Amino acid sequence: MSVLSLTKMTLEEFHNLKYICGLLVFASLKSLDLLRMANLEELWTTTSGFEIQGEESEAQQCFPVLSEVRITCCPKLNVKPYFPPSLLSLSFEESNEQLLSPCSFSLLPRPANESSSSCNVQSAAPCLRELQLRNMMGSSSSWELLQNHTELEILHIQCCNDLKQLPDSIRNLTSLRVLWLTECKRLCMLPEWLGELRSLQSLYVFMTPLIDSLPQSAKRLTSLVSLQICRWDKMKELPDVIQHLTSLQVLNLALCPALTVLPECIGELSALRRLQIQHCHALQCLPQSLQRLTALHELHISSSPGLARRYNQGVGPDWQLVSHIPDVRIN
Amino acid sequence: MSGMEAALAFGLSKVVGNKLVSLVSSEFAAITGVEKDLSELQSLHADITSWLSMLHDRAMESDPSLRWLIKLRNLLNDMYDLLDEVYLQDEKQRVDRDHGKHAIAVWFCGKPKLLLFRWKVAHKIKAIKVEFDAIVNQKSDANTILHNLHLDQLIQSKNKITREPSLLSNNKESKIPSRDHVKSEIILELVASKKGEAGRIVSIVGLGGSGKTTLAQQICHDDKIKGHFKGRIFWIHVSQEFCRDKLIGKLFEAIIGQKSDHHAQQHMIRVISNKLSGNKFLLVLDDAWHEDRHDWENFMVLLDNGAPGSKILLTTRNQSVLEAVESKAIFKLAYLSVDESWSFFLKTCGWVEEDLSYAFIPVGKDIVKKCGGVPLAIKTLGSVLWERRGINTWRAIRESNLWDEENIEARVFTSLKLSYIYLKDHLKQCFTFCSIFPKGCKINKHYLIEQWMAHGFIKLKKEELAHDIGNEYFDSLMRAGFLQDRVETLPQRSVSCKMHDLIHDLTHYILQNEVVTSQPKNMTDSSQNCRYLSLTSCSGNVERALFYKVRAVHVSGGNPSFDNLVKKSFYVCSVVLDYAVDTPFPLFVLKLEYLAYLEIHHVSCPKLPEAISVCWNLQSLHFISCKGCDIT
Amino acid sequence: MTLPESIGKLKKLQTLEFNYITDLETLPQSIGNCQDLQSLQLNYCEKLRKIPSSVGRLRKLRVLHIIGCSSLQQLLLEFNGELSNLMTVNLHGCCGLQDLPTTLSCPKLRTLDLSETKVTVLPQWVISICTLECLYLQNCEELLDLPKGIINLKNLEVLNLVGCSKLQCMPSGLRQLTRLRNLGSFAVGCGGDDARISELENLDMISGHMEITNLKYLKDPSEAEKAMLKRKNIWSLDLSWSSSQTKEELVSDVEQDQCVLNALEPPSKIMFLKICGYRGPILPSWMVKQNDSSCCAGILFKQASLCPFFL
C-alpha cells in the first residue's frame, strides 16, 4: 500500500477533479499541497463515516499526522468536515474564503442527531501555530476562523488588497507572537485593540502606504521585541506611543520618505539594542536622547544622506552623539 | 612509552626498507659506485629490523631509560635522510636524461663531483654503523631476550568472518541503545517550546571521546528535528580558540554556505541577521571550551533574531562552559556499562559473540572493560583487535602496563596509544603525517594521498597505481577509527574527512618535537629535529635553523615569511600554504629543489614565475582561489 | 593568472589542479610535455576560454575535470586514439558549452558528466564506448534527444535525465539497459520509434528520484501497468501529464487518464509524490478505499452538501 509511507504529497492542476473523498489513511503524510485545482470543491479529511441505511461506520482521520497544508489557487475548495487536528501550519493563497470560516476546524465530533446548517463550533484545533494568508478576500466573512484559534503564534497577511482594516477576529489571538502585514494596500490603520495581543513579540508592517501611526493601545504590548516598518509613505513622525514600548530591542524603519523627525521620547526605549534606518531621505537628524540608550549596540544607517553626512565617524559634525555605540555602520 | 617509541621506529624502519630496496638495485647506484655501500646499509637495516621485531611484543615493558630507543629513532631518520639524498640524485638524473641531457656523461666528466658524492655516502653510512653498534652495546641485555612464540592461535571460528567494521559512519543508526534514550530526551527538549530564554541552550557534556559529537550528528539527522526546524540546522565547530570574529566567519559559512574570507564582518553580521530573523533554527556549537561569560554573551547576541523555539545545542567537555553560557538543560553522557561496552565493541567489529572462540572472550572483555566505557577508546582498540587476531597479541594488550593509570582520560589515551602500536607498520608513517594538519580541519582525501606519495610512504607494487594503493591506506585508517566523518561533496565527488581531537593529540605525542606548531622563542637542540612544520595564524620571519630537517610545511592563515632560506637543498617535500587573504606568490618555494607536492590557496600573482621548473621533482600542483590581474 | 611555458619541464607532474582561479584564461601548449600527467582539474575558472590542443597528447591522463567554467564554449582537442587511459570526464556546469568534439577515442571511459551544460545532442562517440557506466545529463536544458545507440551501452548504471526539459521522448529498446539504477526522468513519446513506458518493466534496479513526463501521450493503461513502478525502489516520484494543455486536451481522455494513473501505482516505500496535470475526474484507486470509490459517483455526492451527516 503505497500511501502508507508518503510524507509529502503535491497535487497540481487536476482540472476535472471535483471531489476528494473516501481516501485511505495516509499514515505518514506530514505535508500536503493542493495547487491550481480550479474545479475542486471538496476535500474530505475523514474516511467513510456516512450513513447508509441507518448504520454509521467509524470515521477515521485520513491524515493523522498532517502538520502542513498549502492551498493555492483553489477558488472553490472547501475542506470537510474539518482540517485534521494535527495541523501546525496552514497557508492559503488566492483561494476560497470559506476555508477561513469556523466550520473548517473542529475537535469534537458533534452527536449525530444534532443538526444545524450553520456550523458554530466552540472548541478549536489545539495546535495550529502558523497561518499564512496571501491574496485572500477578507471583507465579507471577516475570517471568523481566527476567533477560535487562540493558540496561533504566527500570522502572515499578505496582498489582501480588499482589506481596509484588520478583522476583529484577530483580537482574540492572545498567543500571537509574530504578526506580518505585507502589501495590504488598502489597510488604512492598525486597529484600536492592537494592545490586546499581549504576547506579540514581533510586529512587521510592510508596504502599507495608508498607515501612518500606531494606536494608543500599543503601549500595552509589553512583550514586543522587534518592530519593523517599511513603506509607511504618509508617516511624518514616529508616533509618541512608541515611548511605552520599553521591551523593544530592535527597531527598523525603512523606505519612509515622509519621515522627518524621530521624537525625543525614543530615549525611553531602554532595552533598544539595534536601530536601523534605511532609505529615509527626509530624516536629517537623530534625537539627543539617543545618548541615554545604554543598551544600544548597533546603529545601521543606509541610503539616508542627511544622516550620513552628520554622523559619519570622525567626520560628521554630530558624530559625538553616536560615538558611544559599539557598532555603527553608515553607508 | 617505550612501546610507542618502538612502534614509531617500526614504522620508520618500514619506509627506510622500501627505499633501500628500490635504490640498491638501481642503475644509478651501479654507475656511481655506491651500490656496495648501499648493500651494507641494507644488511644493517635488516639487523635493526630483526632486533626490533624481537622486542616488539615485549615492548610493553616499561623501561626507565628510553634513550636508546630515541637514539634508534634518530638513527633511522638519518638513514632515511641519506637514502632520500641518493634517491633524489637518482631521480634528477633520470629526469635530466629524459630531457635529452646526457647527464651520465656530465657526471663522469665531473669526476671530482662523483668522487665527492661517493665519499659522502660512504662516510655517512660508516657514521650510522658506529652509532648502531653503540646503541646495541648499551642495551646488551637485549641479548637475553626470550624468543617469543610467534605461533599465534588464530581465531577458530565456526563462521568465517569476512565482514569488516563499518567504513562509513552511518549517522542514522546508533550502536548504543542507552544513547538512543538520551537522544530522544534531547530531541524532546529541543522541540519543546518554552517561554523566555529558559530552554534555549541545550548542552551535552562528557569526556573526550565519549560520543558527544556523534550524538549531536545523529540528532541533526533525526526526522523529527529536521521537520521541526524545517531543515534550518547549522553546525559550527568551536574548538579551543574562542575568537568572536572567527566564529562569525564560521557561522556565516554554515548559514550561507560560502567562504567567509572575502567578506567584511559587518556584511556578514547583517546577512546572518537577515537569514535568521523570524525563522526557527537549530545551531550546533560543537566542542566548546571557552569559559568567559561575556565573550559568550557577545556572540549569542547575533542569534537573538530567530523565532522563538530556536535552540542551540552545545557539546563540551568542560562543566564551566555550561555556567558561562547559562545553559539550563544539561545532558551528561554517562560512561557505557560493562555490558554495553562489550556489545558496542562487537557491533563495531561486525561480530557476534559466537564468532569468537572461548579463549578470546574473557581477554576481549577485560580489554574492553579497561576502556572505561568511552566509545572512542572501544572503537579504536576494537579495530586493532579485529586486525590482530592472535591470542598472544590480545593478551599482550591486556597486560600492557600502559593501563596503569587512575585517571579516566589517561586511560582513554592509553587505548589510543595501543591502537597506534598495533597499527600496521606501513600505515604508521601515513598516520603520524596527519599531525601537520591543524586541529579540527577538514582533510581532503586526494590531497592527503598525494602528500603520502610525495613523501614516499606508499609502497608501490607492480601494476598498481600509487593512487589506488593510497586509497587502500586511507580506507584502512578510516576503519581503524583514526580518520572519521567521511563526507563526499558533489559535483567533484571529492572526499574529505576529519581527525578526532584526541587522535590529533596522539600524533603530536608520538612525534614529540618532530612536529612544531609555532615558532619557538629560542632555537634549542630539540627544535633542530623538526620534520613537520605546521604554522597556524603566524606571521613574521621563520628561523632558518628550524628548516634544517623539515620535510613538510603547512601554513594556515597568517603570513609567515621564509625569506631567510638560503641553502638550496632543503629536504622539503610538501608545502601547503592556506593563506587567509591574498598574498603574493611565495618565492621561497622556488628554492626548494626537492619539492614534490605544492598546494597554495589565496595567492595573488599575475603570472606564475618561469622558475617554477626549478622544482623538477613536482608531482602535484594545486592552486585554489587564486587571483592574478594580467592577461597574456 | 597565467601559467608559464616552463610548466612543460615538470616531467614528474602527475596532478595539476586549478580551483576558483577567476582569471585563468587558458593553459600553455607546453602542458602536453608533461607526459606523466594523470589528473587535470580546472574547476570554477570562470574566464577559462579554451583548453590547449596538446592536452590530447597526454597518454596517461585518467581524470579530466572541467567543472563550472562558464566561459568554455568548445572542447577542441586533437584526438588520435591518444587518451587511452581516460576514465572520467566531468564537465558539470560549463554552461557555455554547446558542442562536444565530433570524434574522441577514449576506450576506457567510465564516467561522463555533462550536467548543466548546453549540449544539444550527444555525439556518436559517446555511445560507442561500451565501458561507460555513468552518464550524467541533469539539467541539460537544451538536450533535444538521445541517440538511438544509447541502448547498446550495456554497462550503463546511471543515466540521469532530471531536468532535461526539451527531451520529449526516449529511444526504444531502453529495456536493454538492465543495469540501470538511476534514470531520473522518463519522457513518454508520441512517435512510433519512441520507447514505451512498458520498457521500464524489467529495469527493477531503478531507485531514488524518478520523474515521468509527457503522460498525455500515454493512451494505453496496460502499458502503464507493465512499467511496474511498484517494484522499483523509488522514494520520490513526479508524474506530469504536460506543462501546458489546450482547452480540448483538458477535457479529453478523461477516462484513460484515470486508468493510467491507477496503473502507475508507486512502490510501497515512497516518501514524496507529486502529480501534475491529471485529467481524471477522481483520484486513483490506490489512494482511495475500494468500496468508497464506487459510491463516490453516486450517493455520497448528494449527501456531501449536507455537512452535518459526516462526522
Question: Does B413 share its domain with B439?
Answer: no
Average pLDDT over residues B401-426: 80
pLDDT computed for residue B269 by the predictor: 85
Q: Which three cell numbers stand for residue B321?
A: 562552559
Tally the domains of chain B: 5
B touches which chains (3+ CB pairs under 8 A)?
Answer: A, C
How many other C-beta atoms lie within 10 A of the C-beta of residue C305?
Answer: 10
Within-domain flag for B582: yes
Over residues B585-609, the pLDDT tens digits come to: 888 888 888 889 999 988 888 888 8
Q: What is the pLDDT of residues B325-349, one digit of tens each?
A: 888 888 988 888 888 889 988 888 8
A16 CA: distance to closest CA in chain B (Å): 33
Out of A201, A297, A329, the one facing B308 most closely (by C-beta) is A201
Q: Which residues of A are less than 8 Å from C299 in CB distance? A: 50, 52
Q: Of B457, B489, B510, which one is at a domain's C-terminal end?
A: B510
Q: Give the residue on B whose Cα is nearest the Cα of A329.
A: B266
For residues B364 and B405, state if they share a domain: yes
Q: Worst-scoring range by mean pLDDT, B131-135, B164-168, B346-350, C253-257?
A: B164-168
| B167 domain residue, yes or no | no
Per-residue pLDDT at C157: 92
40-59 in A: which are within 8 Å (CB) of C?
42, 44, 46-52, 59
Residues A50-69 have a mean pLDDT of: 70
pLDDT of A119 > 60? The answer is no
The Cα B294–Cα B315 span in angstroms is 19
B247-300 pLDDT, tens digit per residue, is: 888 888 888 777 666 677 888 888 888 888 877 889 999 888 888 888 888 888
**Measured between beta carbons, which residues in chain C are less than 8 angstroms from residue B258?**
none
Question: Between chains, do A7 and C272 touch, taking CB under 8 Å as contact?
Answer: yes
Whether residue B176 is predicted with pLDDT greater than 90 in this model: the reply is no
Subunits next to C (3 or more Cβ pairs <8 Å) are A, B
B165 vs B235, residue with greater confidence: B235
Q: Which residues of C, range 262-291, sit inside 8 Å of A by Cβ?
A: 265-283, 286-289, 291
Confidence of residue B155 (pLDDT cuts 50, 70, 90): very low
As a whole-number percent, the residues of chain B with pLDDT over 90 amount to 8
When the pLDDT of each residue in chain A is averaged and rounded to a whole number, the result is 83
Among A246-260, B483-497, C281-295, name the most confident range. A246-260
Strand order in the sheet with A78-80: A19-20, A42-44, A78-80
The answer, for A156 touching chain B at a CB cutoff of 8 Å, is no
- Is residue B432 located within the same domain as residue B486? yes
- Percent residues over pLDDT 70 in chain B: 81
- Summarised one tens digit per residue, pLDDT across range B521-565 is 666 666 677 888 888 877 777 777 777 778 898 988 777 777 766
Q: Is residue B15 part of a domain?
A: yes
Within a domain: B3: yes
Q: Using 50, 70 and 90 to split pLDDT, how confident is the model at B443?
A: very high
Nearest chain A residue (CA) to B270: A300
Distances (CA, A) of A119 to A61, A86, A95, A328, C307: 20, 20, 20, 56, 9
Tell me the nearest-neighbour CA distance from A23 into chain C, angstroms: 4
Contact in structure between C43 and C20 (CB atoms under 8 Å)? yes
Distance from CA of A70 to the nearest CA of B (A): 15
Please check whether residue A10 touches C, CB under 8 A. Answer: yes
Domain range list for chain C? 1-167, 200-301
pLDDT band of residue A72 (cuts 50, 70, 90) is: very high
Residue B44 falls inside a structural domain:
yes
Instruction: Tell whether B244 is covered by a domain.
Output: yes
pLDDT greater than 60 at residue C298: no
Question: With 60 as the cut, is the pLDDT of residue A124 above it?
Answer: no
For chain C, give the percent of residues with pLDDT over 90: 21
Picking from C237, C289, C305 by the largest number of A CB atoms within 10 A of its own CB, the best residue to mutate is C289
pLDDT above 60 for A111: no
Mean pLDDT over the full length of chain C: 83
Q: Which residue does chain B place closest to C4, by CA atoms? A: B610
Q: Are residues B407 and B432 in the same domain?
A: no
CB contact under 8 A, B266 and A297: no
Q: How far does the CA of residue B409 sit from the closest CA of chain C (Å)?
A: 42
d(CA B632, CA B630): 7
Q: Do A16 and C280 touch (CB under 8 A)?
A: yes
pLDDT tens digit sequence for C175-216: 888 888 888 889 888 887 788 888 888 888 888 899 998 888
* Stretch A86-113: mean pLDDT: 71
Residue B374: per-residue pLDDT: 87
C79-106 average pLDDT score: 82
Confidence band of B66 (pLDDT split at 50, 70, 90) = low
Using a CB–CB cutoff of 8 Å, tell me whether C6 touches chain A.
Answer: no
pLDDT of residue C65 exceeding 80, the answer is yes
Inside any domain, residue B156: no
Q: Tell me the shortest Cα–Cα distance from B231 to chain A, in angstroms.
A: 14
pLDDT in tens, C152-180: 898 999 999 988 888 888 888 888 888 88
CB contact under 8 A, C311 and A49: yes
* Interchain proximity B307–A154, CB inside 8 Å: yes
> What is the span of the domain harbouring residue B380?
338-421
Q: How far apart are CA C193 and CA C168, in angstroms?
A: 12
* CA dist list (Å): A225 to A192, A198, A220, A272, B269: 20, 12, 13, 9, 19
Based on the domain organization, do B368 and B484 belong to the same domain?
no
CA dihedral A106, A107, A112, A114 (to 10 degrees): -60
Mark whether B501 and B603 lie in a shared domain: no
User: Are both B105 and B3 inside the same structural domain?
Assistant: yes
Say if B632 falls within a structural domain. no
Those residues whose C-beta lies under 8 Å from the C-beta of residue B518, and which sit 6 or more positions away, are B535, B536, B538
Q: Tell me, what's the pLDDT at B261? A: 64
ipTM score for this prediction: 0.79
* pLDDT at residue B204, rounded to an integer: 92
CB atoms within 10 A of CB B571: 20
Contacts of A11 (CB under 8 A, 6+ apart): A33, A34, A35, A37, C274, C275, C276, C278
Question: In which band, very low, low, confident or very high, does the pLDDT at B435 lie, cut at 50, 70 and 90?
Answer: very high
**Which of A188-220 are b and which e, b meaning 16 or more Cβ less than 10 Å from the residue's Cβ?**
ebbbeebbbbebbbbbbbbbbbebbbbeebbbb
Mean pLDDT, residues B447-455 taken together: 92
- B531 vs B149: which has the higher pLDDT: B531
Segment B210-219 shows an average pLDDT of 88
Q: Which residues of C2-25 are buried (b: 16+ CB within 10 A; e: fewer)?
A: bbbebbbbbbbbbbbbbbbbebbb
How many angstroms separate the CA of residue B467 from the nearest CA in chain A?
43
CATH architecture of residue range(s) C1-167: Alpha-Beta Horseshoe (3.80)
The chain B residue lying nearest C19, using CA atoms, is: B624
Single residue among B510, B538, B554 that ends a domain in this structure = B510
Q: What pLDDT, on the 0 to 100 scale, is given for residue B631? A: 31
> How far is it, in rounded angstroms, from Cα B575 to Cα B589?
8
* B119 and B242 part of one domain: no
Considering the domain architecture, whether residues B529 and B616 belong to the same structural domain is answered as: yes
Cell of A263: 521624537
**Per the CB < 8 Å rule, is A13 touching C311?**
no
Which CATH number fits the domain that encloses residue B456?
A: 1.10.10.10
Q: Is the dihedral of CA B368, B370, B373, B377 positive or negative?
A: negative
From B280, B302, B332, the end of a domain falls on: B332
| 3-class state of residue B559 by DSSP | strand
Give yes or no for a contact between A184 and A163, defined as CB atoms under 8 angstroms apart.
yes
Amino acid present at A82: Y
